[in-house]
């Protein structure tokens, strides 16, 4: 439920880009900076809140994070202008990464090691289900009754999640010996930084496309704006399938899953840019892009946890820092190429280039991992 609420607020704003721009009196490119603001909040909040809560019982910490998330989204509902909306979106992003990081750790401890990737994937499934149900439904409501309804609905989901965690999640203590210093030790690992850089650049390509999916569909493909929620649902179905497959791939090979997902993004984003004017190929590619993007998430989460075994909570939360730096990077670079006059197809080719660099970084990360493993066995 928490993942569903977080996914709904993170991704629905992309489908309501034009409505929000009209309400706030800004351009579509300026609205893209709201996406970046939320993402920067995730980047900042993930390490800071996780480290500060190192000694707090994990269930208690998750409750605090969900309460913060709920109140921040209600703040967005009442934001008076564009500047305050930027601030409220930043605040809403702060608990995102810490919430998912701690939830992933909990899930991983409940199953055998051979099923860890699948357990992490199920935690992330809320994001995927949000794109099947939450994003299209809330996008439709936002288009029909006002885009700010998104924040009211997400606030309600957050409150229900808080109650569900309180009554249904078992008590889980903080990790023995946990401290702020020990959690922050993850930041000393070169392998953690390489894994994050792989996710930032590789997934940055994905967000360069998805941040502007609404105007791409209306201005390039020629769909009416009312059809955008249905297409976003198609993307979400691909994301659900990709999450399930991605968890199994991570159990098979963490690095192999990362290589496969980034390579697939290079290929399919390039094709998407070429066929975006044609309806049926565009719909097929949107489904595929949702799936290939989700393949990366469980494997990247597992790689970060493996890279800092003594500070897994912070390492796990850094996955969402990486993905949201990617979100901010993709949205900002996408805005740059659109503003420069290259048109709404340009982000797809930009995205393919970023994913290619992400694949190269993944290969370097894999070689480093092999060298580290070999040194530890000597």
Residue 95 has pLDDT above 70, yes or no: yes
How confident is the model at residue 175, as a pLDDT? Answer: 65
d(CA 63, CA 165): 7
How confident is the model at residue 165, as a pLDDT? Answer: 87
d(CA 308, CA 288): 32
Highest mean pLDDT among 20-34, 167-181, 337-351 belongs to: 337-351
* Per-residue pLDDT tens digits for 305-320: 777 766 667 777 777 7
How confident is the model at residue 163, as a pLDDT? Answer: 95
Residue 155 — pLDDT band, cuts 50, 70, 90? very high
Distances (CA, A) of 144 to 8, 9, 319: 17, 17, 35
How confident is the model at residue 377, as a pLDDT? Answer: 66
- Is 318:194 a contact under the CB 8 Å cutoff? no
Residue 10 has pLDDT above 70, yes or no: yes
Say how many residues make up the chain: 378
Q: What are phi and psi of 79, to 5 degrees?
A: -60, 130
How confident is the model at residue 309, as a pLDDT? Answer: 67
Residue 73 has pLDDT above 90, yes or no: yes
How confident is the model at residue 174, as a pLDDT? Answer: 67
- Rounded average pLDDT over 43-65: 84
Residue 177 has pLDDT above 80, yes or no: no
Residue 378 has pLDDT above 70, yes or no: no
Which SS3 state, helix, strand or coil, does residue 79 take?
Answer: coil
Separation of CA 104 from chain center: 14
d(CA 262, CA 356): 7
d(CA 245, CA 106): 21
- Rounded average pLDDT over 161-177: 80
């Amino acid at each position: 439920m928490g993942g569903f609420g977080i996914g709904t607020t993170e991704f629905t704003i992309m489908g309501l880009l034009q409505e929000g721009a009209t309400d706030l009196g800004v351009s579509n490119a300026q609205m893209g900076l709201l996406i970046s603001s939320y993402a920067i909040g995730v980047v900042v909040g993930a390490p800071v809140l996780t480290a500060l809560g190192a000694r707090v019982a994990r269930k208690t910490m998750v409750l605090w994070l969900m309460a913060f998330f709920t109140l921040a989204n209600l703040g967005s509902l009442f934001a008076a202008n564009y500047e305050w909306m930027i601030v409220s979106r930043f605040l809403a992003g702060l608990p995102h990464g810490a919430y998912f990081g701690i939830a992933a750790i909990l899930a991983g401890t409940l199953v055998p090691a051979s099923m860890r990737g699948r357990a992490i994937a199920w935690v992330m499934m809320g994001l995927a289900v949000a794109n099947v149900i939450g994003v299209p439904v809330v996008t439709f409501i936002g288009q029909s009754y006002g885009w700010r309804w998104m924040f009211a609905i997400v606030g309600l989901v957050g409150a229900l999640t808080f109650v569900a965690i309180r009554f249904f999640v078992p008590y889980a203590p903080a990790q023995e010996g946990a401290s702020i210093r020990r959690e922050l030790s993850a930041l000393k690992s070169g392998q953690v930084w390489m894994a994050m850089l792989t996710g930032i650049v590789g997934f940055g390509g994905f967000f360069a496309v998805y941040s502007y999916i609404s105007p791409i569909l209306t201005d390039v493909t020629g769909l009416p704006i009312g059809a955008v929620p249905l297409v976003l649902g198609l993307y979400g179905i691909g994301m659900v399938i990709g999450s399930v497959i991605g968890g199994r791939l991570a159990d098979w090979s963490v690095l192999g899953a990362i290589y496969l997902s980034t390579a697939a993004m290079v290929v399919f984003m390039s094709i998407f840019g070429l066929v975006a004017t044609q309806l049926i190929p565009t719909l097929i590619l949107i489904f595929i892009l949702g799936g290939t993007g989700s393949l990366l998430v469980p494997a990247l989460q597992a790689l970060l946890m493996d890279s800092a075994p003594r500070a897994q909570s912070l390492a796990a939360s850094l996955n969402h820092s990486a993905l949201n730096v990617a979100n901010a990077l993709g949205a900002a670079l996408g805005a740059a190429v659109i503003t420069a006059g290259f048109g709404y197809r340009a982000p797809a080719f930009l995205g393919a280039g970023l994913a290619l660099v992400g694949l190269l970084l993944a290969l370097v990360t894999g070689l480093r991992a092999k060298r580290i493993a070999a040194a530890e066995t000597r």
